[in-house]
Structure 1
Amino acid sequence: MKKTFLILFAFLSVFAFSQTLSSKLDKTTLVLGEPGTLHIHISNLQAKDVLSAPKNELLPFHFEEIKDSINKQVDTYDRVIEFAVYDEGKFTIPALDFRINGKLLKTIPYDVEVINTAQKGDQINDIMKNKEVDLGVQDYWQMYKWYILGVFIILALIFIIHQLIKYGRRKKSDPVVMTNQTLRELDKLKKKNYIENGNYRLFYVELIDITRNFITKQYKIPADVLLTDDLIDVIKLNNTISQENEKTIEDIFLRGDLVKFAKVFPDQQNMQDDFDQMKAFVKRSSKDLEAEQLRTGV
């Protein structure tokens, strides 16, 4: 008898000191989007830790958790999950795991049916009629000011870029720029000492090449591709270059051709005079262009 009593006492002690898990679902049928509540309760906790899925991650897919609250006391544990389902059909809340000091407890599974009570053709009415609001200039400015400012900024950038390109082109094509560049090329030619060394052939070849390039860019005459006789005819017909400059170009170009074909042998003085005259022509060229602009009204 005593042995039986001890066995019964031990059996009751196990149940008396063990944890009890219970769960309750308030509704098994929900309207589409209607909130439902699952309440999980553990008693006789004895200050032990409870391990379960993190907040808002306890329920499976399709169950949209709205609120997940946990209240743990020394001897009890309560977890209340408020959820909604936004798809029609039947869904299952499986057995959920709760571990207490290594001991695994599970809730019972629940089947939930979600229905749509709306009927085809039902009219949906707004809760409140739309209110018409009169907007003033200030309201429209607040709504669209960044778009307007953006358009002005883009237009300003386009104008600045256009002016920079225009200025850059004008600067590069400025007669003064071309004149100074050619004068520097003539100075480089002088420093080669062709005149002092009597190297007349190279002197006239380079002098005429520099001049042809200058006439092409300064007067827009294709001097770089025309033969000497053709170039002289075009210059006379063009009527842009003054007669004084025409004569300088004609005399030096013709003499340069004779030198290249070894028909004349200029001395140092002739070479120096031709160099000085060509340099003077380059300096006078801006006056030709000013006169042409006055004549054409450009």
Structure 2
Amino acid sequence: MINEELRMTNFKLRPSRNLSLSFLLILFSWFSFAQVTSTIDSTSIKIGELITYHIQVETDSTKLVVFPEGQTFSPLEMIESYDVDTIKNNDKFNLIKKYGLTQFDSGKYTIPQQKIIVGDKTFFTDSVQVEVRNIEIDTTKGLYDIKPIIAVQKAGSNWWIYVLLALLIIGAIAFLLYWFIWRKKPLTEAEQIALLPPYDRAKLALKELDETHYLEHQNMKDYYSELTFIIRKYLDEKVYDRALESTTDELIKRLTLLKEGNQVDLSKEDIKSLENILKRADLVKFAKSAPDIELAKIDRDTIDIEIDHVKEALPEPTEEEKLLDAKYREEQERKKKRKKVWITVAISVFLLLATITGFSIKYGFDYVKDTIIGHDTKELLEGNWVTSAYGFPPITISTPKVLKRTTPKLPEEMAQQIEMTQFGYGSLMDRFQIQLATSKIKNFGEGENKIDIEKAIDSELKLFENAGAQNIIIKREKFVTPNGAEGLKVYGTMDSPVLGTDKLEKGKYVVLGFTAENVVQEVMIFHRENDVYAEKILERILNSIELKKAEG
């Protein structure tokens, strides 16, 4: 379409501008990667008849195409959105998206432009006018009875997405807790050595000393320091628990006392050998003595032998000592497990409180509390709302739930004068109620006075009193629906009874009244005071009300 308009304009431009315009057309052909067209299979339908709206996009495979979603075809209603059909055309693809549209009121309607995104470019379709015709009824063949009420399956919600997301988050947190806290991590080399018995650790330390280069570099100080540390450490763990901090004289004296007390079966030669090596080490470390390398090797072998002698000299642990040792290890394991449990609980509580705090900051604490614990009107507000027309003349209204037809109990005298249809949800005892009533006065002559809507609403308020409401405060003001119908709004507060108790609870009410010839139409909404969700429900309902007069 754009190229055609440019070609028509070319004939009116001067030759110099024709050349420039041709150059722009070439550039346009270079940078135009997509072509968007729309069609509709019919521009004239009957009420409720389905028409198909097509959107076709020609582009290459590298571009992301986003088609319209939701009710973007208003005033027509989208009944179904079909899957995208793909047709390959040489080096490009034709993407065809279809929508099923309809309308249940007669008239002429315009389908607005639809927005399509191709890559980083935005395209709009042309608007299309559609005529919706009334269905002609052949009354000569008779009329059928009204169809009975059929239960409609409740529309599904996306609750499973939130459940799946919550499970994924909980699973991720559980995995992290297991991986970093509960999982048995592979031991490092140092940890594995630390778990060895003292004798094995001492022997391993001697082998590691052999692998050093202290003797090659004549580093006697470090060599003797490690050598004496090995024997002192072993003695500290198995014989005398202050062997590491004792001087040589103190340690040898202690070993002698233990021998004399028959607590360690060491020979005098063993104690003397240890004393000689420890004193030689003291001279190397503190007096800078430099013994022969061969002597250092002999001292190493002597320490190796003395470690064996100390092990042999130690008495075998009794069954009681073994039991105490086993109990000690079990207690240590319990402490570790208890520590892991406390860490897990602390992290879980912290994450829970952090999540609640974050959502409370963003949405408010009351909203978070009501989401976790539950709140009746919050669930109504966030549920799947229903827009429908009730009664005749019809009142179109959006409500959280479908309003069910109820049979009003009218006195016999009133029933002879009024024909009433009534729809509702909830009750005054439920602390949330929606009532919609259409009353047609029989035998209403042309010469009679206009219906007094205030008196009609006052009779509605008496129903509150009959249900146990007290202290009803009444305010009145003019009300205009979104489609321009004028009526009366009566609103205020009342004390309503609480179900199952003798208590009263503060509530708010709104009653809307409309008149048309011999018809009175009323909408009544009641909810608890200080219920923010009910206030939003009320506002949404009031903004959705539309009235249509009966034809003829």
> TM-score over 0.5 for the alignment?
no
Say which structure is richer in helix.
1
Decide which structure has the larger Cα Rg and report it.
Answer: 1
TM-score bin, normalised by smaller chain: 0.3 to 0.5
TM-score (norm 2): 0.25
Say which structure is richer in strand.
2
TM-score (norm 1): 0.40
